[in-house]
Amino acid sequence: MNNGFAEASGAPWPPPLANGKAPLPKGKAPPPPKRGGRGPPKAAPPMPKNPSKGGGAGMSELLRRVEATGQKKDREEAKAIEDVDLSKIDPNATRPRVKCPRCELQVLVSDYESHMSSHSSEIMLWLFLGGIRNAENDKELTLRTGITHILNLASECNLWGDVRVAVEKYQAEQGLSFTYKKYPFGDTADQDILNDLPEAIEFIHNAHLSNDRHHVLVHCVQGISRSASVVIAYLIKYEGMTLRDAHAHTLKCRPIAMPRKEFVDQLGRFECAVLGCAEPSFTGEQAFEGKVMLSLDAGLPVAQKWTRSVSDLAKHSGTLVRTNTPGIVSRVLVAIWRGVQSMIPSCVPPAPVQDNNELVVEAAPATEQRPKS
């Protein structure tokens, strides 16, 4: 029959496939694929017809949702501009500013106090209290304040060599010299400042006594605790102030100054010895009355509270909440400070110099240079 069909139609039998292979005889299965073969390709999974429905993924879907949320908030929360009186709005109005007497920049009135604290503070006409940033600014040291003597009270700070050269050159042109001295105090509760305090304030006194053109900068890292304590001690001994008055005067000239409680108590003993009083006029307890302080002395600090009850904290804005265990804020602050110490060479504590088993004053080497950025 098949042959008859082939003869009648003239077509070969069985008909060949497109690839030239004949069909398999009936009853036989196709051979299995060779080992290692890929087999027939798998069909791709169907794409969703509308990705915006059913929580489709991808950046386009995320952007669509953000846009939709914004449009919804505009519809529900935006106020009609027709309801706002714009007639009294001055398009040229600016926030009030004032000229800084030190650097002559125009500073927002609201930022003036903070800006002035970035400069060294004038305690007396010739005596300045500041931080390391002021001791690293040669323009601040020369043209603005005419510093001839620097007293550094921070163990982790040194004087840059290029700053020393610039100040020495400037003062030489004025017919003056430049003197630098350092006492490596630490800002910790166990730091005893009384041993070196008489010599430190004598350095300030001799600088002023030798020439009324001499200007002295006393600094630590921020000009808050260590250097402020030494300035207060100077005012007690050489200006005849009580500790209470010297503390108040220093904070009036530099609002961010706040010697730590332990330093204030040591200054109280210093006041009694110098002025011959039976009791100090001011104590560390009184200095921190009503304040909540965060101690960074330990590796995992705990917030410390002075005198006032927790219920009174609502009256004081910007205070920290008291905790009995180290909180995440304390951990973060310690981590940030340690990171700053590791990144900034000037914050790396230098090795103390020993002489006859006594800690001596260490001057920064004149060859020390700023790291290149």
Q: Where are the domains of the chain?
A: 106-287+346-359
Query: Do 267 and 236 meet the contact criterion of CB atoms below 8 Å apart?
Result: yes
Section 263-282 average pLDDT: 97
Show the DSSP H helices in the chain as ranges.
Answer: 2-9, 59-77, 112-118, 132-135, 138-139, 161-173, 197-210, 226-238, 243-253, 261-275, 284-287, 328-343
Mean pLDDT, range 286-310, rounded to an integer? 62
Task: Compute the distance between CA of residue 218 and CA of residue 241 in angstroms, rounded to an integer.
Answer: 19
pLDDT score of 267 more than 70: yes
135 close to 141: Cβ distance less than 8 angstroms: yes
What's residue 296's pLDDT? 65
Reduced to 3 states (helix: H, G, I; strand: E, B; else coil), residue 107 is strand
Distance CA 204, CA 129 (A): 12
Q: Which pLDDT value is given to residue 78? A: 72
Question: 218: which 2 tokens?
Answer: 């006393």
* Dihedrals phi, psi of 233, to nearest 5 degrees: -60, -40
Residue 113: DSSP 8-state: H
Q: Nearest 5°: phi and psi at 127?
A: -115, 125
Plot region of 266 (φ>0 → left; ψ -120 to 50 → alpha; else → beta)? alpha
Within 13 Å, how many C-alpha atoms sit on residue 181's CB side? 20
- CA neighbor of 191 nearest in space, from 279, 260, 284: 260
User: What are 207-265's pLDDT values in tens digits?
Assistant: 999 999 999 999 999 999 999 999 999 999 999 999 999 999 999 999 999 999 999 99
* Superfamily of the domain at 106-287+346-359: Protein tyrosine phosphatase superfamily (3.90.190.10)
Q: Is the pLDDT of residue 188 over 90?
A: yes
Q: Take residue 126 and report the two structure tokens written for it.
A: 């010739």
In this predicted structure, the answer to whether residue 367 has a pLDDT above a threshold of 70 is no
More confident residue, 315 or 253: 253
Q: Round to whole Å and give the CA distance between 289 and 287.
A: 6
Average pLDDT rounded to a whole number, residues 68-79 = 82
Rounded to whole angstroms, the Cα distance separating 288 from 220 reads 21
Q: Within 10 A of 320 (CB to CB), how many other CB atoms are there? A: 16
Termini Cα distance of the chain: 96
pLDDT digits (tens, 9 = 90+) for 136-145: 999 999 999 9
**Rounded Cα–Cα distance for residues 122 and 215 (Å):** 10
Rounded CA gap, 279 and 283, in Å?
10
Mean pLDDT lowest among 136-150, 324-338, 356-370? 356-370
Instruction: Convert the pLDDT of each residue in 108-130 to its tens digit.
Output: 999 999 999 999 999 999 999 99
pLDDT at 92: 84
- Find out whether the peptide bond into 14 is cis, omega within 30 degrees of 0: yes
- Quick check: 18 pLDDT over 80? no
> In the chain, what percentage of residues exceed pLDDT 90?
53
**pLDDT on residue 59:** 86
pLDDT (0 to 100) of residue 222: 96
Using the predicted structure, report yes or no on whether residue 318 has a pLDDT greater than 50: no
- 146 token code pair: 């005419």
Q: Point out the residues that are catalytic.
A: 220
Q: Is the pLDDT of residue 28 over 90?
A: no
Q: Is the pLDDT of residue 148 over 60?
A: yes
Q: What one-letter code names the amino acid at 14?
A: P
